[in-house]
Structure 1
Amino acid sequence: MPSTEIKKTSMEELGRISPKQFKKSDKAPICLVLDNIRSLQNVGSIFRTADAFRVTKIYLCGITGQPPNREIEKTALGATESVDFEYFNTTLEAVKVLKEDNYKIISIEQTNNSTSLENFKTHTEGKYAFVFGNEVFGVEDVIVQESDEVVEIPQFGTKHSLNVSISAGIVIWDYYSKNNLNLFSSPL
């Protein structure tokens, strides 16, 4: 038992920034590409995680739902107001735009030559676009081929995949932990 009483941090003590401050704040040099995500709740959860980690932008592609949408908001809890997003008819269109902007395209997928997440190297001076695929079919084959690298999250149970919003959280946290969480002058 700890020698001092443990109490939850209040909302005021957390000192969170407002959506307006978020828009003006420095962002992590990463963006997320949602490749035909069918679940609106997954989209909302990814928005919320992107807000928590000051992700630069989310690219919504194909059948992926777009705000404003009540089902997305159920899990986003207002993060669609802070996190920038853009829609593309195809994921390939988004990837081409990101490549022109010098982003490294990193598909999160299981392939014969994927890099295990713990071995994936990142640098704060690089820009990364993490592509997350459809809940059933994964990242489109054409996008896997266009990727600079394919990264796989190691798993040790009986299932062969993770929920896409969980995968996004793991990959973003991995990026932050490898870069010592020192991306911003103000606290997250």
Structure 2
Amino acid sequence: MTTPNPRRQLRPTDVKRLNRTWRRNTAGRLGMIVESVTGPFNIGSIFRTAAAFGVDVIWLAGNATPPTNPKAQKTALGTDRLVEWHEPVPAAQAVRAAKDDGFAVVAIELTGDARPLHEAKLTGDVCLVVGSEDHGCSPAVLESADAVAYIPQVGRVGSFNVAVAAAIALAEARRQEWSAL
């Protein structure tokens, strides 16, 4: 009798089973504030990644493009229906809403007091903030956030695409939670 190849890609049923196991080991709530991200493909990618990591709620802030934009839909592939989201409001109002909902708010930005992402406390109920493609998080967000973290980089490029930064931050938040199990 031959043994099945452990390196074969999982079938859809196996993927669902694997994801269900991770979901059972995930208690912390994740939220996001997406401030003034206008690129529809960035919005679609952020929503798709948020759905994959089990984000509970996304507050759009500033002039953020909603996920209902047809170009955003092309990237999101309908995942915006899997994440609760709110129409854009002023950034400080989005931060207040997240805090009122019990989230600690952590902006992902390069500031003088920012901690490296892997050293930031991202466990429990945490809401990550990503800012616009051009200017990052606004001063209003940075003043009202509970903490600021940055993604260490060693290459010659000074920043990440906002959707990539969101994915890295969400992955790190879940990694911290799962590492504590």
TM bracket (short chain): 0.7 to 0.9
**Residue number in structure 2 paired with 1:137:** 135
Q: 1:17-166 maps to which residues of 2 (within 5 A)?
A: 28-123=28-123, 126-166=124-164
Offset, 1:181: 6.5
Q: Give the distance between the partners of 1:30 and 1:5, measured in 2 at CA.
A: 32
Q: Give the distance between the partners of 1:105 and 1:166, measured in 2 at CA.
A: 19
* 1:103/1:5 CA distance change after superposition, 3 Å: closer
Look up the SS of the partner of 1:42 in the other structure: helix
Which letter maps to 2:12? Answer: M
Kept in 1: contact 2:28–2:177 (CA 8 A) = no
Q: Give the distance between the partners of 1:66 and 1:28, measured in 2 at CA.
A: 26
Residue identity (%)? 29
**Residue number in structure 1 paired with 2:20:** none
Q: Give the distance between the partners of 1:32 and 1:39, measured in 2 at CA.
A: 17
Q: Give the distance between the partners of 1:12 and 1:4, measured in 2 at CA.
A: 17
* 1:28/1:121 CA distance change after superposition, 3 Å: closer
**Residue number in structure 2 paired with 1:8:** 9
Look up the SS of the partner of 1:179 in the other structure: helix
Offset, 1:85: 0.4
Q: Give the distance between the partners of 2:94 and 2:103, measured in 1 at CA.
A: 11
Provide the aligned C-alpha RMSD in A: 2.4
List alignment gaps of at least 5 residues for structure 2: 18-22
Q: Give the distance between the partners of 1:172 and 1:143, measured in 2 at CA.
A: 18
**Is the deviation greater in 114-123 or in 154-163?**
114-123
Offset, 1:168: 0.9
* Runs of 4 or more above 3 Å deviation: none
Report the TM-score, using the length of structure 2 for normalisation: 0.86
Look up the SS of the partner of 1:59 in the other structure: strand
Report how many residues are paired: 172
Kept in 2: contact 1:28–1:56 (CA 8 A) = no
Query: If each structure's helix is expressed as a fraction of its own residues, which one has the higher value?
Result: 2
**Residue number in structure 2 paired with 1:174:** 172
Kept in 1: contact 2:131–2:137 (CA 8 A) = yes
List alignment gaps of at least 5 residues for structure 1: 17-21, 184-188
Which letter maps to 1:162? Answer: F
* 1:97/1:5 CA distance change after superposition, 3 Å: closer
* 1:67/1:118 CA distance change after superposition, 3 Å: closer
Offset, 1:115: 0.5
Kept in 2: contact 1:109–1:151 (CA 8 A) = yes
Kept in 1: contact 2:91–2:140 (CA 8 A) = no
Kept in 1: contact 2:33–2:61 (CA 8 A) = yes
Q: Give the distance between the partners of 2:39 and 2:68, measured in 1 at CA.
A: 15
